[in-house]
Copies of this chain bind each other. A is one copy, B any other.
Amino acid sequence: MEISPAIHDPQGQEKQQQAAGVGILLQIMMLVLSFVLGHVLRRHKFYYLPEASASLLIGLIVGGLANISNTETSIRTWFNFHDEFFFLFLLPPIIFQSGFSLQPKPFFSNFGAIVTFSVLGTFVASIVTGVLVYLGGVMFLMYRLPFVECLMFGSLISATDPVTVLSIFQELGSDVNLYALVFGESVLNDAMAISLYRTMSLVRSHSSGQNFFMVIVRFLETFVGSMSAGVGVGFTSALLFKYAGLDVDNLQNLECCLFVLFPYFSYMLAEGLSLSGIVSILFTGIVMKHYTYSNLSGNSQRFVSAFFHLISSLAETFVFIYMGFDIAMEKHSWSHVGFICFSILFIVIARAANVFGCGYLVNLARPAHRKIPMTHQKALWYSGLRGAMAFALALQSVHDLPEGHGQTIFTATTAIVVLTVLLIGGSTGTMLEALEVVGDSRDTALGDGFEVVNNRYMTSFDDEDSPSGSGFRTKLREFHKSAASFTELDRNYLTPFFTSHNGEYDDDVNNEISHEERIPFARRGNLNNRG
């Protein structure tokens, strides 16, 4: 151990330790307040201020109070935690939980659409945002950034986090396919946004002698490499738990200890390999939920679900409080206001390009009864809140970019997160009801596809198909088939190989997604009502 040089001022050290104690105390009190306030608001069905917004507001208020008080500097130091804390302790549980709480069945039955929205769509959104921000700079509408940095900003701001939208979906009851689409897209687009961001960042630092081909290779390296690392760790854990025979009653603690170490292992393995830990832990979450989880004993299953839900709730609430606090404490130069306003306009346009563009493509490939209705596309477009992931990448950009540029991106991102969470979060209930995609009418949740919904909304959409796209359409249908064949592969080879029960899952998959499908969601609603 490296012992830091002995400090011969025990009193000074004690004071410092005491100040740190008071800071953490304040943070805990804000956490408790957020949980209690969020609970009270939910209990009174006050959907204009979801929990995430409440946490943000608490942070804003405490930050504002600290800002006008005299003791500003000391309060500021209390909250001055290292970025390390954010990247090592706050972000991994949030991202793992988003992968871990994916319901495999609706996710895989919408796999093609989700991948289209989150891979192709996020790529489109990033480029559109980046180009618009660059043009805005060129036209002196906003702070001017170099093109590559615009693309970096475009990538990081494309990571969505519809936590409040999803919690209201669960509260009000929504179509499983819409839920899977919004949730699945938000989970996977994080991976895409990080990979794009890292690629752009690499392009920026080795700007000479890089051609377009190398950029693609870099991107695939990050995305596929991190994904493989995550999936590999997930599969390893599945095999370990399948054969170790730990699913007996009195080994629950050992089982859970090992289980909770794997995600972190995956995160650190990827970081050690210069890949993206976040992308890796996300895929580990998906794989561990789908395979490893079912090899656990019943008690441990309940425990690890509650465990990851608990720590991700704590981390997420903390991040929202922190973001609110941060934006209230920052010394803002008002030159950023233009940047923020135009950025918001541009991300709205970029998300429209993503959702409606990809929605059109997906509908080309899907059979008539399974097309994504316009209302669902609108709901997906509306769910473009920005959250912890965008914030984390913006924090990263402060280190990656020259001072002024990084700071501008960071301020803009924080502001966008706060505004989207407060505005979109507050209006979600109204919007979803206006779009008639939620509510207790069981009709909308029926069936494998959207039969009922289609009859109502989709007739006009069907007619839009132009015959000119038919060759392309065939290819898309093939892609759709390949997504379906992944389900086959999973059912016939992966599930039997990585889990201890073969029969059950098969039966489940063969059934159409039916009324029963709502039950796991109802259960999840209880466990996951903090997103």
Contact of A314 among B83, B257, B306 (CB under 8 A): B257
Cβ contact within 8 Å between A17 and B400: no
Do residues A250 and B529 form an inter-chain contact, with CB atoms below 8 A?
A: yes
Q: A28-B261, A28-B268 are in contact. Are A79 and B1 (CB under 8 A)?
A: yes
The answer to whether B401 touches A6, judged by C-beta atoms less than 8 angstroms apart, is yes
A310 contacts B260, CB within 8 Å? yes
Taking CB atoms and an 8 Å cut-off, the chain A residues in 249-294 that contact chain B are 249-254, 256-258, 260-261, 264-265, 268-272, 274, 277
> Could you say which of A18-26, A146-154, A350-358 contacts chain B?
A18-26
CB distance from A193 to the nearest CB of B (A): 18
Q: Taking the complex as formed, is A502 at the interface, i.e. its CB lies under 8 A from any CB of chain B?
A: no
Given A77-B2, A250-B529, is A257 in contact with B310 using a C-beta cutoff of 8 Å?
Answer: yes
Interface centre among A2, A11, A21, A251, by most chain B C-beta atoms within 10 angstroms, is A21
Cα–Cα, bound, A31→B398 (Å) = 34
Q: How far is the CA of A196 from the CA of B249 in the complex (A)?
A: 42
- Determine if B529 and A272 form an interchain contact, defined as CB atoms under 8 angstroms apart: no
> Do A306 and B256 form a contact, CB below 8 Å, given A6-B401, A39-B251?
yes
Given A1-B330, A7-B399, A253-B530, check contact A272 B306 (CB 8 Å): no
**Who on chain B is nearest to A274 by CB?**
B18
Residue A526 interfacial (CB < 8 Å): yes
Q: Is the pair B272, A13 in contact by a Cβ cutoff of 8 Å?
A: no
**Closest B residue, CB atoms, query A327:** B1
A116 interface residue per 8 A CB criterion: no
Binding site secondary structure of chain A: helix
Tell which of A136-144, A403-411, A465-473, A488-496 binds the partner: A403-411
State the interface size on chain A (CB cutoff 8 A): 82
Within 8 A of B (CB), among A12-68: 13-14, 17-18, 20-22, 24-25, 28-29, 31-32, 35-36, 39
Residue of B nearest to A309 (CB): B253
Selected from B258, B264, B271, B527, the residue in CB contact (under 8 A) with A252 is B527
Residues of chain B contacted by A526 (CB below 8 angstroms): 249-250, 252
The answer to whether B399 and A13 touch across the interface, beta carbons within 8 angstroms, is yes
Contact A25 to B329, CB < 8 A, known contacts A3-B398, A201-B10, A306-B256: no
Q: Which residues of B contact A272 (CB under 8 A)?
A: 18, 21-22, 25
Q: Please give the distance in Å from A410's CB to the nearest CB on chain B.
A: 7
A374 CB to nearest chain B CB (Å): 34
Across-interface contacts of A6 in B (CB, < 8 A): 398-399, 401-403, 406
Q: With A18-B271, A254-B35, A271-B21 as given contacts, are A28 and B265 in contact (CB-CB < 8 Å)?
A: yes
* Shortest Cβ gap from A107 to chain B (Å): 22
Contact A80 B1 (CB under 8 A): yes
Does A497 belong to the interface (CB within 8 Å)?
Answer: no
A201–B39 CA distance with the chains assembled, in angstroms: 45
- Please give the distance in Å from A488's CB to the nearest CB on chain B: 34
Per-residue CB proximity of A328-340 to B under 8 Å, as 1/0? 0110000000000
Q: Give Cα A64–Cα B279 distance, bound, in whole angstroms.
A: 35
- Which B residues touch A243, using CB under 8 A? none
Chain B nearest CB from A163 CB (Å) reads: 14
Whether a CB of chain B sits under 8 angstroms from the CB of A303 is yes
Listed A/B pairs (16) with beta-carbon separation below 8 Å: A1-B79, A2-B76, A2-B80, A6-B403, A20-B271, A21-B270, A24-B268, A28-B265, A29-B265, A32-B261, A35-B254, A249-B526, A250-B525, A250-B529, A253-B313, A256-B306
Residues of chain A whose beta carbon lies under 8 Å from any beta carbon of chain B? 1-8, 10-11, 13-14, 17-18, 20-22, 24-25, 28-29, 31-32, 35-36, 39, 76-77, 79-80, 83, 88, 201, 205, 249-254, 256-258, 260-261, 264-265, 268-272, 274, 277, 299, 302-303, 306-307, 309-310, 313-314, 322, 326, 329-330, 398-403, 406-407, 410, 525-530
Leading 4 A-B pairs by shortest Cβ distance: A21-B271, A250-B526, A21-B272, A25-B268
Q: Given A1-B326, A28-B265, A253-B530, 19 other A-B contacts at CB below 8 A?
A: A1-B79, A2-B76, A3-B410, A7-B399, A8-B402, A10-B201, A13-B399, A18-B274, A21-B272, A24-B268, A25-B265, A25-B272, A39-B251, A250-B525, A250-B526, A253-B309, A253-B310, A253-B313, A257-B310
